[in-house]
Amino acid sequence: MSIIDKKTVEHVANLARLYLTDAEKEDMTEILNKILDFEQKLAGLNTDGVKPMAHAVPLENVMRDDTVEESLSVREAFLNAPCEAEGFFKVPRIVEKD
Amino acid sequence: MELLKKSALELRDLLDKREVSSREIVETYLKRIEAVEPKVKSFVTLTAEEALQAADKADEMIKEKKAGLLTGIPIAVKDNMCTYHVETTCGSKMLENFKPPYDATVVANLKETGVPVLGKTNMDEFAMGSSTETSYYGPSRNPWDLERVPGGSSGGSAAAVAAMEAPLALGSDTGGSIRQPASLTGIVGVKPTYGLVSRYGLIAFASSLDQIGPFTRNVADSAALLNLLSGYDPKDTTSLPHARPDYMQALGKDIKGLKVGVAKDSLGDGLDKEVAATVKKSIDAFASLGAEIVEIELPHSEYALATYYLVATAEASSNLARFDGVRFGHRSQEEKDSVTMFKHTRAEGFGPEVKRRIMLGTYALSAGFYDAYYLKALKARTLIKSDFDAAFGKVDIILSPTTPSVAFKFGEKISDPLAMYLSDVFTTTANLAGIPAMSMPAGLTTNGLPIGVQLIAPALGEEIMLSAAYALEKAVGTFGLPTLEV
């Protein structure tokens, strides 16, 4: 019973932007296999012609009037920022130096 | 102790007669919290000063005859609802120091009505769990037996009400997170129809399933609190625009001729014997009140858990992408480049269960697996909802167990995620279908642990659900709350 291998776990962890230690990758592979094995139950369900339902409420394209409303102040928006500089959220370098 | 034993509506009466002030009520509860909190650990953050100020404001409102139904009666709020400048941790290290710059709509409503907030209650991390054992801040304990879990994810709120640390509490329910802890702690918990209560300011777990709802000691108090919570909110695009009824009007109605559905297989294998016996007693109680018991079929319920854990984790993997160390929350010191910072921030900030669910959800949505898992689950969800549509063509409400067993011991299920997920086997269907459901106390085991039963109603069927629950409560009686020998 192996639905997902360590290499796939590494790929998914990268997609999820999640650093995993080697031991965590092993554990994750084992437990995800158990859960995915349980999920195989769905494979046996006939869903031919059944429409998918992402939401229980039949509301669509909820709009509001295009009017100016009060919003969060800049000061409040930065109160929880772990790293701020001159009115910007500061992040590590994204673009490589040439 | 006498004041602590009063229900919210009994307190309303005392407040209106001016026999007690809101300040006295809040002070009494703060003393109780001080006495039992070391045992129960319901709260992550206490807001005593703010609660006393709110109580004084409530006393003014009462004096000026501007009081609402719950003005002056304190409440505990689950720590995934934003409270302006008060820590909102979601049970996670990720949000250890997060102080929201705004109030959730439900919290704003409490403040406006003069409902003092005693504090923020403990929960499974990001509401992912059924025992509070995944909380970064340590578990809460079941007041009925301190060696047992209070359930989860809203376990702190349930424990607070059951331990008489608060007469009311707010929880959120994504797959049973209000109903399961209510059942395990012998109180009432209601998950409303999806869209009835605003989710604005509720930290999202699975957006198509999450709903906020009340924890109370009896059915009438839940109706009162639901009146306050329910309402259209333009800040939540999934908020239902329908007019809201007065749920208090639903109480005390004759339920003669009410059709109560019981699913064929809901009392079968895997169900604790004492839980099964209690559900049967509730069926008999409904019958003796003149309700008609109808056997129904929910053939796709057996797929609900598998469906739920794909839908919920897929949505969670997307919702939790916002925790990247940039705008708020924990940030790693590993700053070689942005992606490294993101990955380490998330590795350090999230606990094991949250990581597992992000991984499962990301996998279910990823290229090559989307059709087999996520899309398949959405189709199964349609079939689960169709089952309910068909059943509610024949019956008014459905009765079932809330949980397959009573409160379990610490450590019993935490090492096996699948065993923990099975706690939700009766509760996830209502979230998937978007319909209201509630748990209420219906008995005790021979060891004195509470057993709950679940009532499920069609969308926007809160009135008939509460009316049936109120009648059932009268018939089966109440079971008291533990005093914790203080």
**Host domain of residue B359:** 302-378
B423 is catalytic: no
The predicted pLDDT at position B330 comes to: 98
Q: Which of B378, B403, B420 is the last residue of a domain?
A: B378
> Would you say residue A25 lies in a domain?
yes
Q: In Å, how far is B452's CA from the nearest CA of chain A?
A: 26
- Residues from chain A that touch B362, judged by Cβ atoms under 8 A, are 12, 15-16
Domain holding A20: CATH number? 1.10.20.60
Which residue, among B151, B144, B186, has the nearest Cα to B171 in the 3D structure? B151
Q: Which of B255, B288, B318 is the last residue of a domain?
A: B255
Verify that B150 and B36 share a domain, yes or no: yes
Verify that B193 and B83 share a domain, yes or no: yes
Counting as low any pLDDT under 50, the low residues of chain B are none
Question: Is B335 near chain A, with CB under 8 Å?
Answer: yes
3-state secondary structure (DSSP) of residue B461:
coil
Give the count of Cβ contacts less than 8 A between chain A and B. 165
- Which helix (DSSP H) or strand (DSSP E) does residue B454 occupy? strand B450-456
* Total domains in the fold of chain A: 1
Could you give the C-alpha distances from B212 to B74, B189, B226, in angstroms and in order? 17, 10, 10
pLDDT band at residue A98 using 50, 70 and 90 as cut-offs = low
Question: Is B483 near chain A, with CB under 8 Å?
Answer: no
Question: Is A35 near chain B, with CB under 8 Å?
Answer: yes
Verify that B310 and B229 share a domain, yes or no: no
Beta bridge partners of B75: B117
> Would you say residue A30 lies in a domain?
yes
> Would you say residue B395 lies in a domain?
no
Please judge whether A62 and B237 are an interchain contact, meaning their C-beta atoms are less than 8 angstroms apart. Answer: yes
Chain-wide mean pLDDT for chain B? 97
Catalytic residue among B131, B177, B183, B405: B177
The predicted pLDDT at position B268 comes to: 79
> Would you say residue B327 lies in a domain?
yes
* Total domains in the fold of chain B: 2
What's the complex ipTM?
0.95
Beta bridge partners of B387: none
The predicted pLDDT at position B112 comes to: 98
- Which helix (DSSP H) or strand (DSSP E) does residue B172 occupy? strand B168-173
Verify that B222 and B328 share a domain, yes or no: no
Chain A residue at shortest CA distance from B379: A52
pLDDT band at residue A96 using 50, 70 and 90 as cut-offs = confident
Catalytic residue among B92, B130, B140, B153: B153
Verify that B324 and B226 share a domain, yes or no: no
Domain holding B144: CATH number? 3.90.1300.10
Find which of B362, B386, B415 to mutate to test the A interface (most A CBs within 10 Å of its CB): B362
Q: Which residue has the tokens 């509470």?
A: B450
For residue range A1-60, what is the model confidence (pLDDT) as tens digits? 589 999 999 999 999 999 999 999 999 999 999 999 999 999 999 999 999 999 888 788
> Would you say residue B290 lies in a domain?
no
> Would you say residue A77 lies in a domain?
no
CB neighbour class for B418 (10 Å; exposed up to 12, middle 13-18, buried from 19): middle
Please judge whether A72 and B101 are an interchain contact, meaning their C-beta atoms are less than 8 angstroms apart. Answer: yes
The answer to whether B171 and B147 are in contact (CB under 8 A) is no
> Would you say residue A32 lies in a domain?
yes
Verify that B232 and B314 share a domain, yes or no: no
Could you give the C-alpha distances from B9 to A14, B112, B217, B223, in angstroms and in order? 53, 19, 11, 10
- Residues from chain B that touch A18, judged by Cβ atoms under 8 A, are 343, 346-347, 350, 355, 358-359
> Would you say residue B469 lies in a domain?
no
Find which of A10, A48, A55, A66 to mutate to test the B interface (most B CBs within 10 Å of its CB): A55
Q: Which of B325, B358, B378 is the last residue of a domain?
A: B378
Question: Is A3 near chain B, with CB under 8 Å?
Answer: no
**Host domain of residue A13:** 6-44
- Residues from chain B that touch A32, judged by Cβ atoms under 8 A, are 356, 359-360, 363
CB neighbour class for B148 (10 Å; exposed up to 12, middle 13-18, buried from 19): buried
Beta bridge partners of B294: B261
- Residues from chain A that touch B208, judged by Cβ atoms under 8 A, are 54-56
Verify that B171 and B48 share a domain, yes or no: yes
- Residues from chain B that touch A38, judged by Cβ atoms under 8 A, are 306, 309, 418
Interface of A with B in 69-98 (CB under 8 A): 72, 76-77, 79-83, 89, 91-94
B78 is catalytic: yes
Verify that B226 and B368 share a domain, yes or no: no
B172 is catalytic: no
> Would you say residue B138 lies in a domain?
yes
What are the phi and psi torsion angles at B189 (to 5°)? -140, 135
